[in-house]
Structure 1
Amino acid sequence: MNPQFKKGALELCVLSKLLGNDCYGYELTEAISEKMVIATGTLYLVLKRLKDENYVETYLVESDEGPARKYYHLTEKGITYQGALKQEWLEFVQAVDHFIQA
């Protein structure tokens, strides 16, 4: 998959995955990696940016399998942002489809 396609869509994928339930970083990486190849470091940069913008918040959960896991949770602002990005994405895809279906 073209890296430029992924770059623009990764943030929306992360937000959409978090819309249903809270996840920790590795869990997000695994889920998204099932559909596209991504580097773990790239995902954590997206998560940091989303946290800095107050779209997600974090909390720690103790783990029986090692250190505590940092979970990511969408804020109300993040839910609103996800909805807006989703709408923009759908409009973008429709515009691109117009040209590639011609």
Structure 2
Amino acid sequence: MADHIPSQLKKGVLELCVLALLAQGDSYAYDLARNLAQAVDMGEGTIYPLMRRLQTDGLVDSYQQESESGPSRKYYRLTEAGLLSLTAQKQDWQRFTASVNSILGVTHE
């Protein structure tokens, strides 16, 4: 189903999805990209510029960790500002989807 979602819609929620994944635990960019590809068919190339921007904005920080299967990996984790941003974005998303669902006549039980 994710392959039928327009790319602009996916890009609009990419930051929210990445922050939500990092709220579940620290991760490296390739793993984040893999999870996003499975969930919303998002291409791997979009994750790296986003991670740089999130780090520049202070929403995530990074650290190196040795890998059992090769060179060390750069892991990302949410900062306090990232967690606050995630909370605000989730609230915005819920209000937005409720408004769209109302227009579409979609109700939830």
Q: TM-score, normalised by structure 2?
A: 0.89
**Aligned with residue 81 of structure 1, among 62, 85, 107:** 85
Q: What is the aligned-residue RMSD (CA, Å)?
A: 1.1
Structure 2 runs not aligned, ≥5 long: none
Q: Higher mean Cα deviation, 80-89 or 33-42?
A: 33-42
Distance 1:86 1:44 in 2: 22
> 1:40-68, CA deviations, whole angstroms, 9 ceiling, x for partnerless residues?
11011111111010000000001121111
Residue number in structure 2 paired with 1:91? 95
Q: Out of 42, 46, 49, which is 1:38 matched to?
A: 42
Where does structure 1 lack aligned partners over 5 or more consecutive residues?
Answer: none
Asked whether the 8 Å contact 2:29–2:75 carries over to 1, the reply is yes
Which amino acid is 1:64 matched to? E
Q: What is the count of residue pairs matched by the alignment?
A: 102
Percent identical pairs in the alignment equals: 39
Q: Which portions of structure 1, spanning 4 or more consecutive aligned residues, are displaced by more than 4 angstroms? A: none
Instruction: Give the equivalent residue in structure 2 for 1:52.
Output: 56
